[in-house]
């Protein structure tokens, strides 16, 4: 049974409008009146510790100075606050709340003997979901559970009352009525309506993250798919040899009807890290050939599977998860040379119409 905070008094989930300028998982980019980008990212300080930085007016500024560095962060949908996680002296996770400019840092919750990260905010910008992984005596993290956190009261509760069902990659729909998460035991994706209790289960062995469309009616999730390889061209279909290969394709799911459709076609590819554009017209994602060891390139496709095209084609560069700008005209992403273990990623912007690329940060990762 779910602990449903959306049904408690004074919750304004239904009255909130989707804020297109911010993605729920902490992924958002904010152009100001001069069209200059403002973003957040993780980078390295003078001691090589990972800290949170901001980028605006072509300049970077360090926002945190934690001894053990910052391990994860997410920006609230209203753009005012950040949640981030650090490790304390005991190796446990501490969750901090702060303003977007780095001010008013406040320790609001600790996870003793556990790692807590992978945040997703509810549209009210007060509550969020996070993963909690218990640590064993050797400091090794286990399978995650999903927890709610109220940032105003510092109260945390498990997603399910018995706290026995594991969950990973929890995501809240833009209207706040749905949650989706991976169930490791069942090897599938659970889609649950917090208002009605309606639910769906979709087999998913990958356990990959999903992306919701702006009106909360559909989502995209990477899914294992079987590709049939036929014999020589011209041979009879009934008698020629067949072989099989596993691909990863993007699956579109309608949360009301349960209708499912593969939008990657029957290509021998691995598609991943999807991101829905603010206007709902495009899905940005990463693609590479199956079994080729090739780096991931950035692509876009319409939600019905039409109009797929590559934005990058550089066999020497591996491209990270894409993040849409608020106007839907470009993507922000990290990239790193393929096979260069000593390199640190850099952060770039690409125009989806012209393909023009621009480096924003020479050393940084996880742009938001």
pLDDT in tens, 42-94: 999 999 999 999 999 889 999 999 999 999 999 999 999 999 999 988 889 99
Residue 295 corresponds to which tokens in the numbers above?
Answer: 């780096």
Backbone torsion region of residue 153, taken as left when φ is above 0, otherwise alpha when ψ lies between -120 and 50, otherwise beta: alpha
Q: What is the predicted pLDDT for the residue at 240?
A: 52
Q: What mean pLDDT do residues 332-344 have?
A: 91
Which domains, ranges and CATH numbers included, belong to the chain?
1-207 (2.120.10.30), 208-368 (2.120.10.30)
Q: What is the predicted pLDDT for the residue at 230?
A: 52
Q: What number of H helices and E strands is found in the chain?
A: 0, 28
Higher per-residue pLDDT: 63 or 229: 63
Q: Is 232 helix (H, G, I), strand (E, B) or coil?
A: coil
Enter the pTM of the model: 0.85
pLDDT classification of 37: cutoffs 50, 70, 90 = confident
Higher per-residue pLDDT: 43 or 185: 43
Mean pLDDT score across all residues of the chain: 87
Sequential DSSP letters for 139-153 = S-B-S-EEEEEETTT
Q: Is 185 helix (H, G, I), strand (E, B) or coil?
A: coil
* Alpha carbons 223 and 206: distance in angstroms, whole number: 7
Q: Is 323 helix (H, G, I), strand (E, B) or coil?
A: strand
CA 153 to chain centre: 26
Q: What is the predicted pLDDT for the residue at 34?
A: 33
Higher per-residue pLDDT: 28 or 318: 318
pLDDT above 50: residue 21: no
pLDDT above 90: residue 164: no
* Alpha carbons 219 and 30: distance in angstroms, whole number: 24
Q: What angle do CA 271, 278, 354 make, to 5 degrees?
A: 70
């Amino acid at each position: 049974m779910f602990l449903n905070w959306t049904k408690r008094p004074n919750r304004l989930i239904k009255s909130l409008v989707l804020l297109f300028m911010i993605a729920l998982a902490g992924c958002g980019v904010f152009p100001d009146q001069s069209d200059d980008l403002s973003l957040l990212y993780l980078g390295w300080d003078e001691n090589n510790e990972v800290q949170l930085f901001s980028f605006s007016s072509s300049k970077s500024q360090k926002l945190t100075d934690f001894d053990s560095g910052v391990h994860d962060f997410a920006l609230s949908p209203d753009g005012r606050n950040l949640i981030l996680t650090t490790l304390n002296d005991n190796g446990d996770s501490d969750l901090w709340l702060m303003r977007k400019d780095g001010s008013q840092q406040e320790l609001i919750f600790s996870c003793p003997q556990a790692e807590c990260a992978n945040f997703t905010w509810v549209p009210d910008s007060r509550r969020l979901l996070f993963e909690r992984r218990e640590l064993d005596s050797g400091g090794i993290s286990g399978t995650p559970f999903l927890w709610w956190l109220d940032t105003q009261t510092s109260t945390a509760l498990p997603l399910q009352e018995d706290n026995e069902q594991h969950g990973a990659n929890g995501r809240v729909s833009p209207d706040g009525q749905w949650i989706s998460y991976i169930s490791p035991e069942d090897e599938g994706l659970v889609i649950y309506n917090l208002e009605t209790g309606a639910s769906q289960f979709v087999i998913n062995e990958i356990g990959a993250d999903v992306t919701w469309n702006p009106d909360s009616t559909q989502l995209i999730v990477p899914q294992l798919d079987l590709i049939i390889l036929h014999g020589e061209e011209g041979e009879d279909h009934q008698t020629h040899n067949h072989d099989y290969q596993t691909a990863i394709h993007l699956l579109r799911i309608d949360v009301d009807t349960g209708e499912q459709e593969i939008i990657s076609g029957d290509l021998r590819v691995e598609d991943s890290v999807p991101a829905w554009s603010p206007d709902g017209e495009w899905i940005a994602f990463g693609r590479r050939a199956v079994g080729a060891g090739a780096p991931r390139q950035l692509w876009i496709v319409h939600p019905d599977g039409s109009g797929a095209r590559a934005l990058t084609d550089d066999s020497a560069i591996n491209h990270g998860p894409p993040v849409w700008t608020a106007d839907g005209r470009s993507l922000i992403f990290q990239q790193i040379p393929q096979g260069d273990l000593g390199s640190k990623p850099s952060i770039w912007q690409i125009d989806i119409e012209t393909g023009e690329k621009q480096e924003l940060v020479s050393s940084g990762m996880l742009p938001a």
